[in-house]
Amino acid sequence: MKKFRFLILPFILFVSACGWFKSPPEIGKVLSEHFKNKIYKDFDTVAYDSIFVKTIDSLSGKFVNPKTIKAFYSNHSAEPKLVTQFYINGELDSLVSYLDQCKAHGFNPKIFKTDEIKALLDELSANKFKRVDESYPVIAKLELLAANAYLNYTNYLKYGVVNPRTIFSRYYIKVRRPDSAGMINLLNSTSLLDTLRSVQPKSAQYKALQAAYLNTDAYDEKRILLLNMERFRWKMPETGDNYVQVNIPDFRLTWLDKQDTVITMKVCVGGRRENGYEEKLKAFAKSGNLDDKPKNHETPLLFSKINSIQANPIWNIPVSIAQSEIYWMARKDPYYLSNSNIKVYYKDKLIGEPDTINWNRYSRDKLPFKFKQGSGGGNALGKFKFIFDNSSSIYLHDTNNKNGFNLTNRAISHGCVRIEKPLQFAELLVKDSYTYDKLRAEVDLPPIDSTHVKWYKKRMAQKADTLKAFQLKPAWFAPKKNVPLIITYITAWSQNDKIEYRPDVYGMDEKLWTAMKKFR
């Protein structure tokens, strides 16, 4: 008898899984009661499952997240959960309504198969099926198209339609993207309507751009507004209320504390890459000749925290600049290096007299030297350098050439960000009168607090002592607390109840527009 029980148990489990001994499934009960139609009491899960499998196989090739959708319905025995829960209470109609209105966000309702979902809802609502099996393809297709549209619409509004890190080579900001766990939670939602309401963008900037988008018929203006609406949909890192923003197209740094501007100033950013950059890069990859290497000094987009200030910085000259500029200047003028306070190192050892180097012996693509520009007035970094962790060796800094701030197009640097008001910026970072006066003394400025005059005079006396060689060295200072910094790229935004527009200095609008083409 024991053996027989063990033999029959797998068979019972098998037929139970096939629905042989199941009472009418939930979908059958719901539709039977709603339509007062007895055919749904005969809803056969085995027959429906077969139709569902064929339907999902035919549709999933065009789904954005086919694996997630398949996993969800596999874990729920192909049950049409959305139709079961949200057809009767009207929330599937609400979904269609939101999809219809997606033009307000710049989307085309066709990308969500809105018309097909409407037609399937109408067919189900007509209640004209003579046999229950006639409803299976309609229910299966409605379920899957609704699930796909619901996920896509929600993800697009919550995270944006494009992942900027996949289309921009120097986009290093870690934006959050949809994941399978989050999408499974969406499909398990107890209210589609609550979710659809919650994902509507709420930022004042987005709403202002959206209002302008809906109020203009000018194609070029709509295009720029739509691109920046997309940027404001991206899930950026949390900056908190107090942070510094550098907007590349605006050539401006702004320190914000909640909605208040603490300080704002002009900046110079990296120069735009050469025209035909991609093709020239391919040519360089083949030849390996530095003469073929195209220039690309674009400032990367990144998020970090300003963690230190260096007064009287030393400039560790990058290899690319040494090869493209320093090498040629040294060949042209043997005294260029010493006159520019540039020290030369060979195998990390200082060369005492760089003016005697015979540059004809070295090709610039295999330079065995390192170059450092010492502290002082002629240093390209000026008197201050503001440091934050990043993988691109980018920082904010002062400059010994202030003329750049008078230009309209200030994309002129090698990639770092030159700031117009470094001393004021440093003062705001240290937030301490004693530390600030120490910092001022390092760059030969008198203290603000009269009680600090004594040690300022002592320093100046040391510098003026002709019997001792005074060597200017970098001095490090810590901000009161690390301040979040985001270097971003926005070409349209709301300011003082007006939309501000800026030129697409790096051509990033064009690239983003191409990536968004299929969603319009």
Residues taking part in catalysis: 397, 416
- Give CA 519 to chain center in angstroms: 19
Closest to 341 (Cα-Cα) out of 379, 304, 370: 379
3-class DSSP assignment, residue 50? helix
Helix then strand then coil, in percent of the chain rounded to 5, is: 50, 15, 35
User: Which tokens belong to 252?
Assistant: 């401006």
Mind spelling out the 3-state secondary structure of 383-443? CEEEEECCCCCCCEECCCCHHHHHCCCCEEECCCEEECCHHHHHHHHHCCHHHHHHHHHHC
Closest to 408 (Cα-Cα) out of 302, 515, 505, 307: 505
Q: Please report, to the nearest 10 degrees, the dihedral formed by the alpha carbons of residues 64, 224, 243, 174 taken in order.
A: 20
3-class DSSP assignment, residue 79? coil
Query: What span, in angstroms and rounded, lies between the C-alpha atoms of 318 and 299?
Result: 15
For 467, the enclosing helix (H) or strand (E) is: none
Judge contact between 427 and 263, C-beta under 8 A: no
Query: What span, in angstroms and rounded, lies between the C-alpha atoms of 62 and 78?
Result: 19
3-class DSSP assignment, residue 306? strand
Judge contact between 138 and 125, C-beta under 8 A: no
Query: What span, in angstroms and rounded, lies between the C-alpha atoms of 248 and 413?
Result: 12
For 369, the enclosing helix (H) or strand (E) is: strand 369-373
Closest to 340 (Cα-Cα) out of 300, 374, 384, 382: 374
289: exposed, middle or buried (Cβ count in 10 Å: 0-12, 13-18, 19+) = exposed
For 485, the enclosing helix (H) or strand (E) is: strand 483-488
